[in-house]
Structure 1
Amino acid sequence: MSEKSCKNDHELGVHADPVPDGQDAIYRPEVDTSGVDQKKLMRRIDMHVVPWLGVLYLLNFLDRGSIGNAKLYNLEKDIGITDRQYLIALTVFFFPYSLLEPPSNVALKKLRPSRWLSFLMLGWGIVMTLHGVMHDYADLLTLRFFLGFFEAGLYPGIVFYISCWYKRSELGSRVAVFFSSATVAGAFSGLLAAGIQNMHGVGGKPGWAWIFILEGLFTVLCAVASFWIIQDFPDTAKFLSEPERVWVVRRLQEDQQFSAGGEKFQLRYVWDSLKDVKTWLAMGIYAGFDGPLFAFSLFTPTIINQLGYTATIANLLSVPVYAWACLVTVVVGFWGDRIGHRGVLNLVLFGTGLVSYVILIASRNPSLSYFAVYLGASAIYPTIPNSVAWVSSNTEGSYKRSVTLGMAIGFGNLNGAVSSNVYRAVDKPWYSLGHGIILAYLAIGWLSSLALLIYVRRENARKAAGARDEVIEGVDNKLAHPRNGTFASVDEARRERGDRWSGFRYTL
């Protein structure tokens, strides 16, 4: 498809002369979009895109973390496993979960979100249900592996999918709203587990088995519905009229998302991502919050339980922690879109996390430790949508963005294999080793955020000075250099170079 090229100094590069008339073309010039009610359309897009994705991720997070709630109701004893075997089972989940995320994002782009995301959800719903009939350690290992296999593509897929609908300045709030469902899942899982365990003995099954069965069956039902509910990309979405589809694509291209009108897969997009230093710094940022995230979601009930509370009370006391995390995540998401300084915001959030885990390491007071859990939730959960928006907005090219997000999220999730093993039973009740390792992860996230902020700031300065200007045939630009490429038009230069194009400005 053709792609829009606006004729202004910003998009040409500040040192280039305008491109001759007729050389650039808007997306689908034959379509008149003057009758589109823009505010009404954006509200309709919000209602079609974000809420159901929030439901999917709620179920994803609920199903993944429910084993932490089930553990409090004699799961280990009933299937005859040790604490070490339990930790190994948690670890097994993360290998397929991490390694399959980049290829899953490429599959999402080629096979359509409505089909791919629904298929993944159906698969993990079935696996989740089978947790309720497992009998031994081998069953648990097998089921956790396949749960990771099917859940792998959902989170990076949703993040990439949302980035294909919204401008860069709108991503943070939308991702925050969708991701807040993870905090709702954390709160809801405690309430749900406390209620479902009362079914102990029904059908000859223990209470923990019913937690898996009921949650899994509900996921299967939602997966079937998703085949019809999930929309595809803007240029093919069925709930939009033709003028509305064209308006959305043009709007994204005006925001320097030039691949919004369609992009054919080429292997070089993968190599572009692998060679980009931003991809590797993003992987450090994702490790910095994903390691703490998985530890937090899997072990919060256990930590509270070891502070002197019974299993049910510990599950219930985790509810307000997640409710608070939900509120802070949404507020920070909207605030990040408003102020735009996502790098600085990342530094503040990671810094708050560092303070919270220093308190957890030093404290021997249950009340102070419980307060630090709130502080940790205030740091970990809001950092995720802010980082997602920051990384996504600084990567242009739909396939390159899908690979970059898949790699960053995959590597971040791989660290869940580490953090799921750091809270050992022998370290209770204060878990100093586990808290110390999470503290190290947060430090990695803080340093990676600082490095990325410095890098994009310097790159913007170099672009503004003309050091990244490409040679455009027919354009007199004394600062242009062949090392940046030679192109027939500005439209070709920005399509080929993506975020490396001289007119592209990174979000700070």
Structure 2
Amino acid sequence: MANASRSPSLVDEKGVAEYEENVMDIAAGRGHLATDEYGQALVEFDKAAESRLRLKIDLFIIPTVSLMYLFCFIDRANIGNAKLAGFEKDLGLEGLDYNIVLSVFFVSYIVFEIPSNLMCKWIGPGWWLPGIEIGFGICSVATAFVNNIHEACGVRFLLGLFEAGLMPGIAYYLSRWYRRSELAFRLSLYIVMAPLAGAFGGLLASGILKLDSFGTLSSWQMIFAIEGIVTICIGIISFFTLTDRPETALWLSQEEKDLAVARIKSERVATTELLDKFDTAKMMRGIFSPTTIITAFIYMLNNITVQGLGMFAPTIIKTIYPSAGVISQQLHTVPPYIVGAFFTLLFPFLSWRFDHRLIFFVLCAPLMIIGYIMFLASEDPMVRYGATFLISSGSFAFGAFCAAHVSANVVSDTARSSAIGAMVMLGNIGGLISTWSYLPFDGPNYHIGNGLNLATSSTTLLLGAGLWVYMTWDNKRRDQVDVAAALAGLSQMQIQDLDWRHPGFRWRP
């Protein structure tokens, strides 16, 4: 499982035999530290064994969470497809009514982010994630039966309540299984479902609209009902395919379980147990880490683009191709999402190989900046359609990068749960803003919406570069600290509660 490199922090005059016993204790999680006081791993792992384990985890977990998130995003964004199919007209929505319906979703979506992620830790991801999947599937089906704005707002509020926990919950769940360098790419394997949902959602909506009816339902009602039923089925299946943590995975051998636990612990300074109990100090460390706050703000800015694109892409395409039929307009939304999906996987894959995230914050933002300049500078349909490809290419990868970056820069499980929840909560304020970014009176060129997104993508570039400079500077400052002196007189519990404030901790850009 592991090669025992002789570390002066652990190997003393008692010799190699005792050290190897300690290595097994570390792997089994029996209260031993997996790093020295400087955060350096005490165990050197077999790369081939790690590779085999990683592939096994990929095959057992990623497909399920990816399908869950695909239909989460479809159930959220299919209202844009329903709008083209007569949703507004049938419910008698006028003026800003449609924007109000969209906004109600984000109110509950924002409020329940952190509570939902803490519930995910308390109940266990293997139960919580499937449960909320079934919940928002039921809400999607219920949307097919709404008759007015009041009913639509009520159902969208409940949809937001259940969906609030899925993205941060999956990100937190995967952090129990993957190293810091590996996490961004694995997060991208499910977050890529957001652009694919835009593509697949458009295709699926087009196919559904070709049906004469679905039971007593017709037109836009079929979109919500059919897609909601699929979501419920995925939730039921996931009860049987997800497992809370490596120690409870029936598909891992005991040696593989030990390796899965030990390799994660080896990256967490001062950690004696992988899954700690709720700790208020650690929870606050996660939420108020400077990296969490800045990254959450970046995610908020990016979400104005991503959520706006998901909800208003069909409307934007309609302004570019006003004479095309509804199905043709739906199909035109697909290619930009396909290209965006490609880059959502490519950039995090490169991040995994280079073990770096902030460089991609700086590289992705200019793609969005150029896209929105094209929107503002030209009314040529092909130029504006080309701009949607650039915007999709640069925007969707941020979900994976922001979650991975926050996860990589806290230590404990509690801090990770609260940090990811806080990031997504603040980030989805951007989703709320996006519902008011493309207003009816601003069409067909939408200067306000496109100008807002140009500003947010430019600010993202500046914040990403600034955070990179700060982390580099603070790591150099920490290098000058006498760790032993700084920790003198503190108990093991006090040291663990330091989390990212531990003097041996280093930021991971």
User: Normalising to structure 2: TM-score of the pair?
Assistant: 0.89
* C-alpha distance in structure 2 between counterparts of 1:144 and 1:7, whole Å: 58
List alignment gaps of at least 5 residues for structure 2.
Answer: 30-44
Residue 299 of structure 2 is aligned with which of 275, 283, 286? 286
The residue aligned with 1:340 is 355
Confirm or deny: 8 A CA contact 2:282 2:499 kept in the other structure. no
1:194 Cα deviation after fit: 0.8
2:500 equivalent in structure 1: 499
Q: Whole-Å Cα distance in 1 between the matches of residues 458 and 427 of structure 2?
A: 14
Write the distance in 2 (CA, Å) between the matches of 1:267 and 1:292.
Answer: 34
- Equivalent residue runs for 1:154-303 within 5 Å: 154-256=166-268, 258=271, 261-303=274-316
Matched, 1:424 2:416: no
In 2, distance between residues paired with 1:323 and 1:295?
A: 17
Cα displacement string for residues 232-252 of structure 1 (whole angstroms, at most 9, x for unaligned residues):
112332322222211111111
Deviations 1:315-336 (A, max 9, x none): 1011111111111111111111
Q: Does 1:310 align with 2:310?
A: no
Partner of 2:135: 123
Establish whether residue 357 from structure 1 lines up as the match of residue 372 from structure 2.
yes
The answer to whether the 8 Å contact 2:27/2:261 transfers is no
Kept after mapping to 1: 8 A contact 2:27/2:258: no
Q: Deviations over 1:247-269 (max 9, x none)?
A: 11111122237366321111111
Residue 212 of structure 1 aligns with an amino acid whose one-letter code is: F
**1:284, 1:444 within 8 Å by CA — same for their partners in 2?**
no
* Residue of structure 2 in register with 1:376 after alignment: 391
Match of 1:476 in 2: none
**Deviation at 1:495?**
2.6
* 1:494 Cα deviation from its structure 2 partner: 5.5
Distance 1:25 1:96, change over 3 A: farther
Q: Is the 8 A contact 1:360 1:435 kept in 2?
A: yes
Q: Is 1:102 equivalent to 2:105 in the alignment?
A: no
Q: Equivalent residue of 2:352, what SS? A: helix
How much has 1:381 moved relative to structure 2? 0.8
1:7 Cα deviation after fit:
7.6
1:53 aligns with 2:65: yes
Deviation at 1:493, TM superposition (A): 6.8
Return 5+ residue gaps in structure 1 as ranges. Answer: 472-479
Superposition pairs for residues 410-489 of structure 1, below 5 Å? 410-466=425-481, 469-471=482-484, 480-481=485-486, 486-487=489-490
Q: Do the aligned residues in 1 keep the contact of 2:134 with 2:231 (CA within 8 Å)? A: yes
State the Cα distance separating 1:448 from its structure 2 match.
2.4
Residues 259, 397 of structure 1: 8 Å contact kept: no
Distance 1:211 1:395, change over 3 A: same
Shift in alpha-carbon separation, 1:6–1:156, aligned structure 2, 3 A: farther
Equivalent pair of 1:176/1:333 in contact (CA under 8 Å) = yes
Aligned to 1:62: 74
CA drift of 1:200 comes to 4.3
Deviations 1:262-288 (A, max 9, x none): 211111112223442222112211112
Residue 300 of structure 2 aligns with an amino acid whose one-letter code is: A
Q: Deviations over 1:114-162 (max 9, x none)?
A: 1100110111011100111111111100011000000000000001111
Contact 1:350 1:445 (C-alpha < 8 Å) held by counterparts: yes
CA distance in 2, matches of 1:27, 1:347: 42
**How far 1:98 sits from its partner (Å)?**
1.1
1:459-505 CA-partner distances (Å, limit 9, x unpaired): 21112122xx444xxxxxxxx34xx66335xx667533222222222
C-alpha RMSD over aligned residues: 2.6
Q: Does the C-alpha gap of structure 1 residues 64 and 275 become closer, same or farther in structure 2, counting only changes over 3 Å?
A: closer
Whether the 8 Å CA contact 1:74–1:208 is kept in 2: the answer is: yes
CA separation of 1:6 and 1:40: change in aligned 2, threshold 3 A: closer
Please identify, of 129-138 and 388-397, the stretch whose mean Cα deviation from structure 2 is larger: 388-397
CA contact (8 A) 1:470 1:486 kept: no
Aligned partners of 2:28 and 2:261 also within 8 Å:
no
The total of aligned residue pairs comes to 484
Distance 2:244 2:212 in 1: 42
Deviation for aligned residue 1:48: 1.1
> 1:30–1:223: structure 2 CA closer, same or farther, 3 Å change rule?
closer
Asked if the contact 2:171–2:187 (Cα under 8 Å) also holds between the matched residues in 1, the reply is: yes
After TM superposition, give the deviation of residue 362 of structure 1 in Å.
Answer: 1.4
Query: Secondary structure of 1:28's match?
Result: helix
The change in CA–CA distance for 1:296 and 1:485 in structure 2 (over 3 A counts) is: farther
Q: How much does 1:439 deviate?
A: 1.8
* Residue of structure 2 aligned with 1:28, choices 25, 29, 34: 25
* Deviation per residue, 1:28-57 (Å, 9 max, x gap): 3696999x9443222111111111110000
User: What's the CA shift for 1:341?
Assistant: 2.9
Aligned to 2:258, the other structure's residue is in SS state: helix
Secondary structure at 2:333's aligned position in 1?
Answer: helix
Partner of 2:402: 387
Q: Which amino acid in structure 1 is aligned with residue 294 of structure 2?
A: L
Partner AA of 1:343 in structure 2 = L
Q: What's 2:381 paired with?
A: 366
- TM-score under structure 1 length normalisation: 0.89
Write the letter of the residue equivalent to 1:503. G
- Cα shift at 1:202: 5.0
CA distance in 1, matches of 2:382, 2:211: 32
* Change in 2 beyond 3 A, CA 1:399/1:202: closer
Distance 1:19 1:92, change over 3 A: farther
* CA distance in structure 2 between the aligned counterparts of 1:366 and 1:19, rounded to whole angstroms: 72
Alpha-carbon distance in structure 2 between the residues aligned to 1:275 and 1:177? 28
Cα pair 2:299 2:398 within 8 Å, conserved: no
User: Aligned partners of 2:99 and 2:184: how far apart in 1?
Assistant: 34
- Give the CA deviation at 1:354: 1.4
Cα distance, 1:422 vs. partner? 1.4
Q: Please identify, of 259-268 and 285-294, the stretch whose mean Cα deviation from structure 2 is larger.
A: 259-268
Whether the 8 Å CA contact 1:6–1:254 is kept in 2: the answer is no
Contact 1:288 1:446 in 2 (8 A): no
Matched residue of 2:346: which SS?
Answer: helix
- Alpha-carbon distance between aligned partners in 1 of 2:208 and 2:183, rounded to the nearest angstrom: 36
The one-letter code sitting in structure 1 at the alignment partner of 2:411 is E
Relative to structure 2, which stretch is displaced further, 356-365 or 55-64?
356-365
Residue 116 of structure 1 aligns to a residue in which SS?
A: helix
Determine if contact 2:65/2:190 at 8 Å carries over to the other structure. yes
In structure 2, how many angstroms separate the alpha carbons of the residues matched to 1:372 and 1:348? 17
What amino acid sits opposite 1:487 in the alignment?
L
